[in-house]
Amino acid sequence: MKMHHFVETQQFDRESLKELFAVASSLEGKREESLKGRILASLFYEPSTRTRLSFESAMLRLGGGVITMESGASSSQSKGETLEDSIKVVSQYADVIVMRHSEVGAATRAAAVSKVPIINAGDGNMGQHPTQALLDLFTIQSELRREDGIHVAFVGNLKYYRSPRSLAYLLGKYKDIKVTFVSAPELRMESDVLDYLRGHGVAVEETEEMGESVKDADVLYQTRIAKEWIKNDADYERLRGRYVITRATADAMKEGAIIIHPLPRVGEISEDVDESPHAVYFKQVAYGLLVRMAILKTIANGG
């Protein structure tokens, strides 16, 4: 797999995904020195906990070092420096840059001027979060033990959530895939993703009700009704309580089906669901560390 920058999930085909996941699986429980002497610049213009710490932990477990910045307000951006100039500077300090930014397309702009590989850790609420999508897919395939013939039900905030968008682009690479989008009308998935899936032979359904989708799905992908993107408080309160996975919801799922979530959760999955055999969202975090180790190992060593 040859890859210099990683800015969107469309860069992967089915074979390269298989190669990356094989590397991830091989790293389970391991620490090594394959990236000894390499430096990761963790450049986060938006606050982050899981993604930033996951990448930094991944780099340290591979023997590399980390320099980090969280919140662009503390950076030269507050002084008026352009993103391009910042990247030109930081790319001389590090061997690889992982970046999160509030603007869609920021990772592509950074890649155009960087001397070192850029990894997109999320750009814009309606952009992409490709490493999250990879760990989501790795979780699904590892837990279900198959690649094809999977029904994924995405629930909740589909309009203002980059993770489901990114995963959808990956699902289109597999066979006999069914996707159900469960949301309120004002939070439904955008047409570009719907058109992409249908154009790649994916069976797509949209509904406002969880009911039968929950019982039939192999994967229930829950999302947070992000308050930062819904400005009206009354709308937020109405929407956040509409799609909640309770223990009864989980118990209605078929044997072997799983519940995943990019986290953090803010009430959309009841805590008693954590004990359900269907709940793998915390296990998903461990899968994510392996995937990010594999991404760093692949890209930092020249693809």
| 9-129+287-300 matches 130-284 in fold | yes
Nearest-Å Rg of the Cα atoms of the chain is 19
Which amino acid is present at 70? E
Name which of 58, 7, 48 is nearest 28 in CA terms: 58
pTM recorded for the entire structure: 0.93
Q: What is the number of other CB atoms lying within 10 angstroms of the CB of residue 269?
A: 24
Would you list the domain boundaries of the chain? 9-129+287-300, 130-284
Domain 130-284 fold is Rossmann fold (3.40.50)
> Which CATH architecture is the domain 9-129+287-300 placed in?
3-Layer(aba) Sandwich (3.40)
Which residue pairs, CB below 8 angstroms and at least 24 apart, start in 229-236? 229/125, 229/157, 229/160, 230/160, 235/186
List the pLDDT tens digit at each of the 303 positions of the chain.
Answer: 566 899 888 888 999 999 999 999 999 999 999 999 999 999 998 888 889 999 999 999 999 999 998 765 555 666 788 999 999 999 999 999 999 998 888 999 999 999 999 999 988 766 678 999 999 999 999 999 999 999 999 998 888 778 888 899 999 999 999 999 999 888 889 999 999 999 999 999 999 988 888 899 999 999 987 666 666 777 777 777 788 999 999 999 999 999 999 988 888 999 999 999 999 999 999 999 999 999 999 998 765
